């Protein structure tokens, strides 16, 4: 195993995200629960930070992009997205867990594939 010079943020949807998802998906998502929605979430590598506030500030800078990415991963029609995707709305719609210790258990290079910009 190898220590990685990164930290991790886990982006976890909250109740407003689930409520929105049910409105745009109709009957398809009626049985979806918040627990199941939060069971497999987006994990992001971040730079290492000395203080938790630095990690929060880093997420703040990209909150709108993250918000768009999370919405698009469930529903691509932007006209159905919420009108408010501000920083405040991001923190109302998502919890973010930060983890400072990252280990790589694979003895191989990491393949970097860029995401599309939203």
68 occurs within a structural domain: yes
Q: Which domain covers residue 45, as residue numbers?
A: 33-104
Domains held by the chain: number? 1
Distances (CA, A) of 71 to 17, 66, 101: 9, 9, 28
pTM of the full structure:
0.87
CA nearest to 73, candidates 4, 13, 5, 28: 13
pLDDT truncated to tens, each residue of the chain (118 aa)?
888 899 999 999 999 999 999 888 876 777 889 999 999 999 999 999 989 999 999 999 999 999 999 999 999 999 999 999 999 999 999 999 999 999 989 988 888 787 765 5
Distance CA 61, CA 3 (A): 26
Q: Are 37 and 87 in contact (CB under 8 A)?
A: no
13 occurs within a structural domain: no
| Residue 73, phi then psi, degrees to nearest 5 | -70, -15
């Amino acid at each position: 195993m190898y220590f990685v010079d990164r930290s991790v943020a886990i982006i976890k949807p909250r109740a407003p995200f689930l409520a929105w998802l049910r409105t745009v998906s109709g009957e398809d998502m009626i049985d979806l629960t918040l627990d199941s929605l939060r069971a497999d979430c987006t994990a992001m590598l971040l730079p290492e930070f000395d203080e938790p506030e630095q990690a929060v500030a880093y997420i703040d800078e990209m909150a709108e992009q993250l918000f768009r990415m999370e919405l698009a991963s469930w529903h691509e029609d932007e006209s159905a997205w919420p009108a408010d995707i501000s920083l405040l709305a991001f923190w109302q719609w998502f919890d973010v867990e930060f983890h400072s210790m990252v280990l790589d258990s694979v003895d191989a290079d990491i393949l970097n594939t860029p995401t599309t910009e939203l």
